[in-house]
Structure 1
Amino acid sequence: MEYLNVHPQLLQALRAVLDTGSLTAAAERLGFTQSALSKQIAALETAAGTPLIRRGPRGVEPTEAGTRLAARAATILDQLGAARRELDDVSAPLGGRLALGGFPATAMELVPRTIARLRAEHPSIEIDFLESSTLVQIRRLRAGRLDLALIAVGEGLPEYDLTGVELDRLPAGRLLVAVGRRHRLARAERVTVDDLAGENWIAGRGGRSEPQFGPWPTLTGARVVAELSGWSARLGFVAAGLGIMTVPSLAAGILPADVVGVEVDDPSWTGRTLSLARIGALTPAGAAVRSALTAEARAIAERVRRAPPPARG
């Protein structure tokens, strides 16, 4: 049998290019120069014997061969990751070691607070955290690379294939609008969707498989003035008064001093749920992680609910 004999790094390069749709963005993600990444893609195409990508009107697009190889590459890379974890467990067995995944907003406060709680209450439990989109997390769950994954499902998000995936719903607060402290809405306890009309919006930017927070979900005709990949950059624009943005309650506790989170009255918004996803039964360590996540998620949601409006000044 003839095999495609290539280094896993070349498969990672292909995945990064197709996820971002750009050689430049993929190079930044992987820490290479664009020239080095182009050489890796060329080497992979030589090994495959066919073109894998082409430049299109919206950036880099996969050929049919590229699409098929990228799908296989995802499985191969996840299996290699799972193998690395198993070998690590053999060489340095750690009782209660789990791999937890989460989308970027969970890494702002929920996950670090949970890990800190676990270290205090259950120091024998080791947590490896991987940040990625929900789609990638579901794939990693199926490949055995993750034990638990924090995912969001609901309105405005893709209909993920959750066949065989168990979901434990966690407490979660409402979506908020983040505004600069000097903004006209900053001293309001609540606003309506009509209050948001005519505002400039700062939106998230990510890969094709990474849903982002954009303008308020039910607002029509919103004007987006900047699309930025990092949370700190987006919040910096808001703090400077250049626009407002949608944020989850999960991020409310670490908003900069010059940014205020405001609740929105919107009966037409059905919302989203925060869930802990797994495949199979929970281990005792997994149950402890779920308990810690639930406690911290509840504390964050309660703190946001009770937060007084900012003082006038």
Structure 2
Amino acid sequence: MEPVSNSFTVDLRRLGVLRELARRGSLARTAAALHLTPSAVSQQLTALSREVGVPLIERAGRGVRLTGQARVLLEHADVMAAQWEEARAALSAWQEGRRGEVTVGAFSSAITGLLPHALRPLTEQHPDVRITVVEAEPPDLFTRLDAGEVDLAIAVDFAAAPPHTDRRYTRVDLLVDTLDLALPAAHRLAREQDIPLRDLAGDTWIVGDPRSCCGAITRSLCAANGFTPDIRHAVNDWQSLAALVEAGLGVALVPRLVQPLHRPGLVLRSPAGPPPTRHVFAAVRAGSDGDPILSAVLEQLRATAARINPYPPSSRTSPQPLRASR
């Protein structure tokens, strides 16, 4: 391989492939995320390696791993990506934010309980700004954010989300969402308050996909209370889940962002002990928060979240019931 040149050039799209490999850990998963073939991913990385003059991947068993030089390059790639986003934001600011497009990616209950309250005033204040909403969850949500398919992501802190220290994103904490127990009205504990989860160990549970936030939280909480839930129904749609609970087919944990569920045969009760919560945040690509339109959307989200939940994520006060759906 040629030594590193003082005048080497780098294709930013190939840098994006390397960043995705660092995130996904394998050529196959990287190819699937970028809608390429593993062979195409390998070719892109080989071309990037020639451009910079150092090896970037090496064989590791049946797969590959990043070299030390690749990790050094990735540190600079994050800086370059942020600077490129700053340049884009500066060009957009030239237009004073009067026109533009913003695509917001969010998980389903944020679309139900947060976005309608935030986007209505935005569309009134900025009638020439086109705002599009798509449903997505980490890690794919952040792959789409990196690729520019989404301009702003709304997500929940859990294993699939990027850490607070990830320099690729500017992050705004929004609110703490509490989860309640959803029980059929005829359930033996329906009249009780502060129900220990352990008392529901023998019940049938209705739980979403384990890769989703609420699905992961439910499984984790049940495990922390000493049992594995008997998951009879795997449902991600909240209205469908509520209908099953109302029919007496199981119990579930439901976030307050999607309440009330308008089901007369369903009751909501608090679990005993500290309330189960999830932290909701917004993120944009590092450097892009200078875009006047994105800045306006972030500010409206922050203001709306403060109205929905007076106890922000940094507060030490116990979260109170959310009232977003009234």
Place the TM-score, normalised by the shorter chain, in its bin: 0.5 to 0.7
For the pair 1:267 / 2:266, whether they are aligned, the reply is no
Residue of structure 2 aligned with 1:14, choices 15, 18, 24: 18
Is 1:108 matched up with 2:115? no
Q: Tell me how far 1:70 sits from its aligned partner.
A: 2.4
- Any unmatched runs of 5+ in structure 2? 146-150, 311-320
Deviations 1:188-227 (A, max 9, x none): 8875321454777655438xxxxx64613334464798xx
Structure 1 contact 215–222 (Cα < 8 Å) conserved: yes
Q: What is the deviation of 1:12?
A: 1.1
Provide the residue aligned with 1:83 in structure 2: 87
Aligned sequence identity (%) = 20
Q: Which consecutive residues of structure 1, in runs of 5 or more, have no partner in the other structure?
A: 141-145, 207-211, 307-313
1:292 aligns with 2:304: yes
**What is the rounded CA distance, in whole Å, between the counterparts of 2:8 and 2:230 in structure 1?**
44
8 Å CA contact 1:53, 1:66 repeated in 2:
no
Residue aligning to 2:97: 94
1:8, distance to aligned residue in structure 2 (A): 1.1
* Paired residue secondary structure (1:84): helix
Quick check: 1:250–1:301 contact (8 Å CA) kept in 2? yes
CA drift of 1:18 comes to 1.9
Is it true that 1:38 corresponds to 2:42 in the alignment?
yes
Structure 1 residues 1-313: aligned runs within 5 Å? 2-48=6-52, 49-52=54-57, 54-55=59-60, 61-90=65-94, 92-95=95-98, 104=107, 107-123=110-126, 126=129, 160-161=164-165, 170=175, 172-176=176-180, 191-197=195-201, 203-205=209-211, 213=217, 215-217=219-221, 218-220=224-226, 222=228, 248-251=255-258, 263-268=269-274, 271-274=277-280, 287-295=299-307, 301-302=322-323
Contact kept in structure 2, 1:109 and 1:254, CA below 8 Å: no
| TM-score (ref. length: structure 2) | 0.56
1:310 maps to what in 2?
A: none
Structure 1 contact 14–41 (Cα < 8 Å) conserved: yes
- 1:31, 1:268 → 2: CA distance? 43
| Mapped partners of 1:26, 1:159: distance in 2 | 19
The one-letter amino acid of 2:67's match is T
The 1:166/1:19 distance shift into structure 2, 3 A limit, reads closer
Cα distance, 1:69–1:214 mapped onto 2, change above 3 Å: farther
**Superimposed CA distance per residue, residues 43-102 of structure 1 (whole angstroms, 9 cap, x where no aligned partner):** 223334213354468x65433223222232222223222322322332x33259897987
Instruction: Name the CA distance, whole Å, in 2 between partners of 1:35 and 1:254.
Output: 48
Residues 51 and 65, structure 1, Cα contact 8 Å, conserved in 2? yes
Shift of 1:9: 1.2
TM-score with structure 1 setting the length: 0.58
Conserved 8 A contact 1:101-1:132 = no
Contact 1:113 1:296 (8 Å CA) reproduced: no
- The structure number with the bigger radius of gyration is 2
Change (3 A) 1:213 1:44: farther
The answer on whether the counterparts of 2:181 and 2:251 sit within 8 Å (CA) in structure 1 is yes
> What is the root-mean-square deviation of aligned Cα atoms in Å?
5.7
Q: 2:55 corresponds to which letter in structure 1?
A: T
- 3-state secondary structure, aligned to 1:175: strand
Distance in 2 separating the partners of 1:60 and 1:189: 55
Structure 1 residue 2: Cα displacement: 1.6
